[in-house]
Structure 1
Amino acid sequence: MAIMKIIAIRDRLDKRVNYVADRQKTALDAGVAYAANPEKTEQTFFTSAIQCRSPETAYHEMMSTKRRWGKTGGVLGYHFIQSFAPGEVTPEQAHAIGLEFVSRMFGDRYEVVLGTHLDKVHLHNHIIVNSVSLTDGKKYHSSPGSYFFEVRPTSDELCRENGLSVITPQGKGKHYAEWQAEQTGKPTIRAMIREDIDSIIAQAYTFDTFLMLLQRKGYSVKAGPNRKFTTVRPPGAKRAIRLDSLGEGYTETAIKERLARQRTQGRPLQYHLPQKWYQLRGVIAILPKKKIKGFHALYLRYLYLLRRSRRTKLRPLPFSIRQEVVRLERYQQQFRYLLEQNITISVELEQRIVVLEWDIRTLTEERRPLYQKRRLTSDEAQKMEYSLEIDRKTASLRENRRELALCRRIQADIPQVSEQVRQAQEEERPMRKEGPQHEYQR
């Protein structure tokens, strides 16, 4: 079993690799030195240079190739890491597999340095490839396509030929942003679509009814006998999503099975107990409520809507509002800031921005001469005082800039927040009027 990893070498590594003697060398030289590091190889037998005289001269030969073809910028090279399972291969076998991998992938077109490292439980090959071809000057470009259709299949084929195990992917992977959101408990767009589908299935009778209710909810649906996949696009979204990409239970076949099972089993009736009213005698002191105005009321309402969208028992809100739940912490921070600064209208927010810009300009002008004074003085104690004063002003500048960025973000978000609240109110208004009238029909 071999796991492949590719790293593009774009910049210098002199700050990270302590054994690079010449600081003017590029990251490609550092990568070659790492791949042929004698401390990580037991003998020189496990280090090879392909289309180069030796690993020690490989960097200069690679740079000479770049200069000859006039391609010294961009990606300098690629670092391939081929890791094997512990105890599955010997050092000689791992090195031989690495050489064969290089031969099949690059042939005699690119300069390559290969080192089999034995410093960990699992043996692994480090392969440094020059990005510029030695024969025609064309650059090698690594992409997801080249990884999944060239690099990984070649490595897996070599593992099968040598009797090693091969990793078989199970299921479909997730986007990193979606996986991270699920790990932190934050809602995702796909999770919201699944919630809508679940709620609509509970109301639908057939698959056609399901699609009709989905369209009534604002989704754009593309389905039919001439289409291979059924796709849905949430309201406000730019791209459509296939149903089979939402996971098990959400493919077209699975949804039809769920609807058929629901028709067979039937839906349980829900009974509501009658409300009881009690009359109390006496006088109850009612304190006047503090009236909330301006931005405070707007954000308070919006945060209520975002939190409400997490509760499944209530009537679902528009998709455009529910997808904003991922930014709940951002709007909470803005609301707390507006409360602390007692900012309720746009004029007060603009005044605060002007004050912060003035403070930043003043602090910057006050800090500038301190650098020159610290540089000219020879007294260490005086230098220390200047340094402390610079640090204090830098901290104040950092705080003011952070607050200024927050104010400008609030200024940019307020129109959208207002529009979202207005849409939610418009959808709730007809529901309040038609609620008792259509209760029996529902």
Structure 2
Amino acid sequence: MAVTKIKRIRGNPGNSLSYIGNPEKTRNLGLSDADRQALADIIAYAADESKTEKQYFTTGINCDVENAREQFNITKQSFNKTGGIVCGHCMQSFDGYEVTPEEAHEIGVQMARELWGDRFQIVVATHLNTNNVHNHIVFNSVSFVDGKRFHFCTEETMRIRAVSDRICRERNLSVIEHPEGKRVPYSLFKMEKAGMPTRYNVARQALDEAISVSANIEEFKSELKKRGYLYQFNPRRKYWTVTPPGWTKAIRTDRLGDTYTREMIQQRVFSNDIGVRMQRLQKESRSSNHYDLKRRIDKIMGRSGLEKLYLRYCYELGYLPKYRQNPVRLHAVLKEELLKCDLYSEEAKLLARYNIGTEEDLEKRMKSLTEDYSSISARRNELRQKLRRKMPEEEDAKYREQVRKLTAELKDTRKELKLCRDIRERSGQVERNLETVIEDRTRGKERKPL
């Protein structure tokens, strides 16, 4: 079973050529020094280009492996196409030890010749440094035949996969018959693994909550709507989609896992006991206890302007100490804001430190920070000019210490200026989110019986 991938390389093609030709990765660890020397002696007598597969499993097609970088550049210069994408890098990975290094290299060379061997210069290298034998194929982006550039497109990616699969079938190797398609991005995978909220696990939680209290699909839709989700459950569509609050891009429910396909959601909803409806009604009609205690929210409501806005937002996120909220009980529009808790906390501290209540106060602070930044930067530049001259060591050390302190001041000033700019850009969205939370909370109280 071979998996293929192709990507564009910009900059210097020598970097990719040096990587794939690294002897530590391509060396056949099964050969002794005597065997490698004997093989090298045989290859030295060979003049046929097809014999250029050396003990390091590297092969040049329409070029020499050792001089591939120069030959790539000569082709580009001859057609005056030296900028942009300099080469393509195709990877072909096999399942474990399904193939020997020799056979894997033969497959890589055969595939490269069939795909690009008639027009492009190519270097094929087989790496043995991982648990999966894999080929790296680097080819020039400019054709040595007509000077035309290689066209990177989806059709070419599909053609690479088709040729690779056909060659594997011809050699009785396994092939992935039904590729899964796109998977969850690696960054989201790492965040979910670390337990951080993402739009995917937040959507899973919202769907699970809605399914658990629904006895039919209409109730399920209603529960999603309460949580601020948009949905598209058109029966003529192959996939169901949901759009989290605050997002414009929809998520296919089947991307969330095997239990979130259209068929599985319907099965989970219809398998609920009719008593879930009564549980939901009881939960909505439950009256809350009221205590006349001084709370942190009372202190926050005593503030005004931007300071009050950001303190209230941190409170709703459960970030303020001693009054942490359960993330499961957060409003739907706030769950993904947990990712920015530290940022909102720093911004709230900044607003409280300088008593910034209005946008005019924020602009004045930004103007002051900009002036301070320019002044500190000018002083640091003067000291750096002095350090270029020869002077006693004590005086040199003194100036360097001053430069270090000014650099630290610049860093703090730059950080505050960035926070101020972020406050100016985010305050509108923060205010709209709070209005949504308060409106939904008020609507929920109005539904409760007296």
| Structure 1 partner of 2:221 | 211
Does residue 242 of structure 2 align to residue 232 of structure 1? yes
Of the candidates 428, 435, 445, which is equivalent to residue 422 of structure 1? 435
Of the candidates 325, 334, 339, which is equivalent to residue 347 of structure 2? 334
Contact 2:239–2:253 at 8 Å: present in 1 too? yes
| Structure 1 partner of 2:265 | 255
Q: How far apart, CA to CA, are the structure 1 residues paired with 2:225 and 2:299? A: 43
| Structure 2 partner of 1:299 | 310
Alpha-carbon displacement from aligned partner over 1:188-220 (angstroms, at most 9, x marks no partner): 223333333333334433223433554465544
Bigger mean CA offset, 85-94 vs 331-340: 85-94
Does residue 66 of structure 2 align to residue 66 of structure 1? no
* Secondary structure of the corresponding residue to residue 73 of structure 1: coil
| Structure 2 partner of 1:8 | 8
Contact 2:213–2:277 at 8 Å: present in 1 too? no
Q: How far apart, CA to CA, are the structure 1 residues paired with 2:22 and 2:258? A: 48
Alpha-carbon displacement from aligned partner over 1:116-167 (angstroms, at most 9, x marks no partner): 34566765433221011222333224456644x2334443444444344556
Alpha-carbon displacement from aligned partner over 1:166-190 (angstroms, at most 9, x marks no partner): 5686697213343233122222223
Q: How far apart, CA to CA, are the structure 2 residues paired with 1:194 and 1:97? A: 43
Task: Give TM-score, length-normalised by structure 2.
Answer: 0.76
Deviation of the 1:366 alpha carbon: 1.0
Residues 1:259 and 1:373: Cα distance change in structure 2 (over 3 Å): closer
Contact 1:207–1:255 at 8 Å: present in 2 too? no
1:336-415 superposed matches below 5 A: 336-377=349-390, 379=392, 382-415=395-428
Instruction: Please give the root-mean-square deviation of Cα atoms over the aligned residues, in Å.
Output: 3.8
Does residue 16 of structure 2 align to residue 31 of structure 1? yes
Contact 1:178–1:188 at 8 Å: present in 2 too? yes
* Secondary structure of the corresponding residue to residue 262 of structure 1: coil
Contact 2:62–2:117 at 8 Å: present in 1 too? no
* Secondary structure of the corresponding residue to residue 105 of structure 2: helix
| Structure 1 partner of 2:321 | none
Letter in structure 2 aligned against 1:426: E
Q: How far apart, CA to CA, are the structure 1 residues paired with 2:254 and 2:288? A: 44
Contact 1:374–1:382 at 8 Å: present in 2 too? no
| Structure 1 partner of 2:138 | 128
Residues 1:84 and 1:382: Cα distance change in structure 2 (over 3 Å): farther
Q: How far apart, CA to CA, are the structure 2 residues paired with 1:4 and 1:135? A: 26
Deviation of the 1:112 alpha carbon: 0.6
Residues 1:379 and 1:80: Cα distance change in structure 2 (over 3 Å): farther
Unpaired stretches in structure 1, ≥5 consecutive residues: 12-26, 279-283, 438-442
* Secondary structure of the corresponding residue to residue 335 of structure 1: helix
Q: How far apart, CA to CA, are the structure 2 residues paired with 1:261 and 1:38? A: 60
Deviation of the 1:77 alpha carbon: 0.8
Residues 1:309 and 1:202: Cα distance change in structure 2 (over 3 Å): farther
Alpha-carbon displacement from aligned partner over 1:61-98 (angstroms, at most 9, x marks no partner): 22222123332111111233444566554443232122
Alpha-carbon displacement from aligned partner over 1:350-391 (angstroms, at most 9, x marks no partner): 343233222211111112222322223265554444333323
Of the candidates 75, 91, 115, which is equivalent to residue 85 of structure 2? 75
Letter in structure 2 aligned against 1:412: E
* Secondary structure of the corresponding residue to residue 82 of structure 2: coil
Residues 1:214 and 1:145: Cα distance change in structure 2 (over 3 Å): farther
Bigger mean CA offset, 63-72 vs 264-273: 264-273
Q: How far apart, CA to CA, are the structure 2 residues paired with 1:215 and 1:267? A: 16
Q: How far apart, CA to CA, are the structure 2 residues paired with 1:2 and 1:394? A: 52
Q: How far apart, CA to CA, are the structure 1 residues paired with 2:130 and 2:233? A: 53
Q: How far apart, CA to CA, are the structure 1 residues paired with 2:419 and 2:160? A: 45
Letter in structure 2 aligned against 1:96: E
Q: How far apart, CA to CA, are the structure 1 residues paired with 2:447 and 2:182? A: 44
Residues 1:384 and 1:205: Cα distance change in structure 2 (over 3 Å): same
Letter in structure 2 aligned against 1:162: R
Deviation of the 1:309 alpha carbon: 8.0
Deviation of the 1:111 alpha carbon: 0.4
Residues 1:371 and 1:4: Cα distance change in structure 2 (over 3 Å): same
1:26-175 superposed matches below 5 A: 27-37=12-22, 41=27, 43=40, 44=54, 46-52=57-63, 54-84=64-94, 87-117=97-127, 123-142=133-152, 146-147=156-157, 149-165=158-174, 173-175=183-185
Letter in structure 2 aligned against 1:237: W
* Secondary structure of the corresponding residue to residue 271 of structure 2: helix
Of the candidates 333, 340, 343, which is equivalent to residue 320 of structure 1? 333
Q: How far apart, CA to CA, are the structure 2 residues paired with 1:216 and 1:275? A: 20
| Structure 2 partner of 1:197 | 207
Contact 2:215–2:274 at 8 Å: present in 1 too? no
Residues 1:165 and 1:265: Cα distance change in structure 2 (over 3 Å): farther
Residues 1:369 and 1:301: Cα distance change in structure 2 (over 3 Å): closer
Letter in structure 1 aligned against 2:16: G
Residues 1:329 and 1:267: Cα distance change in structure 2 (over 3 Å): same
| Structure 2 partner of 1:21 | none
* Secondary structure of the corresponding residue to residue 376 of structure 1: coil
Alignment: residue pair count: 410
Q: How far apart, CA to CA, are the structure 2 residues paired with 1:329 and 1:321? A: 14
Q: How far apart, CA to CA, are the structure 1 residues paired with 2:23 and 2:303? A: 71
Identity across the alignment (%):
34
Alpha-carbon displacement from aligned partner over 1:318-369 (angstroms, at most 9, x marks no partner): x433432332222122223334445444444334323322221111111222
Contact 1:309–1:322 at 8 Å: present in 2 too? no
Residues 1:68 and 1:412: Cα distance change in structure 2 (over 3 Å): same
Contact 2:115–2:160 at 8 Å: present in 1 too? yes
